[in-house]
Every structure is written in structure tokens, then in C-alpha cells.
Amino acid sequence: MRIGRRGFVGGGSAVAAALAAPQGFAQKKYSDGVTDTTIKLGHTGPYSGPASAYGTIGKGIEAYWNMVNDQGGINGRKIEFITYDDGFSPPKTVEMVRKLVENDKVFATFQTLGTACNTAIHKFMNQKKVPQLFVSTGASKWGNPQQYPWTIGWQPDYVTESAIYAKHILAQHKGEKIGILWLNDDSGKDYVSGFMKGLGKENEKLVASQVSYEVTDPTIDSQIIQLKSSGATVFFCHATPKHASQAIRKAAEIGWKPAFYLVNVSISVDSVLKPAGLDNCQGIITAAFYKDPTDAQWAKTPDFVQWKAFMDKYMPGANQGDAFYTYAYAVSWTMQEVLKRCGNELTRDNLMKQVAGLKDVEVPLLLPGVKINTSPTDFYPIQSMQLQRFEGDTWKLFGGVITSDGA
């Protein structure tokens, strides 16, 4: 994995090149899941189960395609979006994705959610040569086009993100003891690996305790008590939304007030922080790459105004303070852009060619300065983030955009 990417939205020159290419629009070429009038995309997500807070992502994506279809579709084709509930259970993901590929015959899967769930279908998708696009997980394994040319991530990878936290801790909390909580799966292993790399060998001794948990654990109270007992005054917390809320709440309950670093996948104000109690969240630090809907500074920016109009029309009554909806909009826009660039050559080979040819694309709702870049050898679309601190009832960005280039 390597660190080095930037942000989102359409590279005009690349679009022009795609439009100019005679094979793009002059003749029609289709793979499974495409007709003259439709493009079929598949998705799995946790609409139920221990990570059901992420279910809003799938709902947001579905609403986005409804909007696109109302606007005439993509190059005249409507999106048929098929989404199944896998309950955040890898065996269920395998079952549902086999159904999508073999029965529904989707053109590609899009935003299948969860590290363990995507790992369970990783080899299958590549053996079938069906694109597994913009998976909703930041594990570093998704950026391996040599071995898995049909799979790509979207968000910044966890190794990069956690190294950013480690560097900030070394600068701001020199010599302090660190406690680490991590989910026992490949995502947790990536987070811990990146964090330790960020600390460097000479500082590994600062880690007083690191404890894991299972996604099916009803609570993580014992882990938080153990971390406090270690004497740690800095806390690096990797947890899914439900357990992140529990960690914040339990730390406050037992009077543990460490410098708190929380991973990006669990920073929704409405889904995570409010259930934990906003008073308990003051000062928490995380890294972001897309706009938080509770941050008033974005209210009048054109992309945010457009997103709000989309939410009002296509998701009336939905909680607009849930950041997973802004995430869903941004990643769906990215997928729409790639499909546009395919023109009428809607083959899986050409889809992957377009996915691997994104240059300085600026995507709506990504932070200023964050852009998407890919190449045939670089499957890490976003490698830029900015630190932010929770103050009052919202996140406040500080410092500049941090972009990884290199190890």
C-alpha cells in the first residue's frame, strides 16, 4: 500500500479524451448487466446486525441512483440498483454476492461494506472477473491491482489514517502512555499496523496496553476499564459506530479522560457521538476527508446546497446530521463519473480502465484539497485527510490537508 493520493471530481481532460475515443460512443459493447436502457449494479450492506448504523450508506446510495434516473440516467441508461442486507456477516455476504453475480448478473458490485465481508468475496469477484468497485472499507489490501485487478477501494486506507494519528500524538503528547482498542479483524490489524509504523520502533514502548474486541460483543466495558488501568493518558480507538459510542460513554463513566483519537469510520455526530453524550465527546480528534453535515461552514457551498436539495427531495425525513449520507453522495458521484466515461463501451474491461484513469478528480462533498487519483498501478483513490476536533456540537477542522506520498 502506498500513501499518496489527493481528492475528488472530474478531470476534464480525461473526460474529453473519453468522449473523443471512437470506441467509447461510436459502437456499443456490453458485458452482463448492461442493455441499451439499463446498467445493473449490486450492493450488500448491514441494514441489520451489529453494524446497522452503516445501513444509511446503502439507503443514501439508492436514493442517489433514484435522482440520477429521474434526470435521465447515465448516457441514457437507468441504473438498476440491487441491494441486499448481509447483516455484517461474511457468510451472508458470500451468499448475497453470489446471487448478485450469478442470478442477478450485475455489471459490477459497488460499495459492498465491511473489511471482513469484502475479504470473503475478494477472490470470488476476481476469479469471476466482475468489478468489485469502491468497496466501503479502508483496508490496505484493496490496493493490489497486480494480484486483484478487479477490486478497488475508495476511502483513505487505514494504515495511512492511523499513521497520521500517531504522528500527531508524538508531537502533542510526547512521552505519554498510549492505550489502543481495536476490532479483531483485518481492518483492526491495518489500523494497529499503521499506528505502530507512525510511532516508529523507538516509540513502541509508549503503548501501555492494546486490547481487541469482536464485532459481536454486546459491550466493550471491560476493555475500557483495562485500558484505563494501564495508566494510558492517550487513547487510540478503532471501533464500529455502536462500540465507539460505548467506548466514549464508558470512559466518561469511569472518569478516564485521555487525549482521545477516534477513527474516521465512526465519527457521525448523530449516529455515534449523540448516543454517547456530546458532553463526553469534547476534544475528540479524528481525521476527515469529506464534509460533515453538522459543520456550518459548508452550509452555503454549492455542493452542500445541492446535497441538501437532494436530501429534501429523495430522502425526506432522513437525519441530515448523519455524515454517512454525505459519504454516500460523494462515493455515488464517483461511480456515476466512471460510468459516464465508459460511454457506450460498457464492458467490464473498459470499466476498470476508466476506474484506473482518474486524475485530480474533484468530487462534491470532499474537503477542499482532497482529490481522487488512480492509475493502473495505483488503486488507492483518496490519500488525503485533515485533522479535526469535536467542539460543542460539531467537528472543527484544524491544520492543513495531509497527503501521504510514499511509505
Sequence spans of domains, the chain: 12-156+299-387, 158-288
pTM, 2 dp: 0.88
Q: Which of 196, 234, 230, 192 is nearest to 213 (CA)?
A: 192
Low-confidence ranges of the chain (pLDDT < 50): 1-26, 406-407
Q: pLDDT by residue (tens digit) across 239-271?
A: 999 999 999 999 999 999 999 999 999 999 999
Reported as a single tens digit per residue, the pLDDT across 58-106 is 999 999 999 999 999 999 999 999 999 999 999 999 999 999 999 999 9
CB under 8 Å to 274, separation ≥6 — which residues? none
Protein fold of 12-156+299-387: Rossmann fold (3.40.50)
Q: One fold for both 12-156+299-387 and 158-288?
A: yes
Closest CA to 83 of 71, 153, 64: 64
Which amino acid belongs to residue 319?
A: N
CATH class, domain 158-288, is alpha beta
Residue pair 378/143 in contact by the 8 Å Cβ criterion: yes
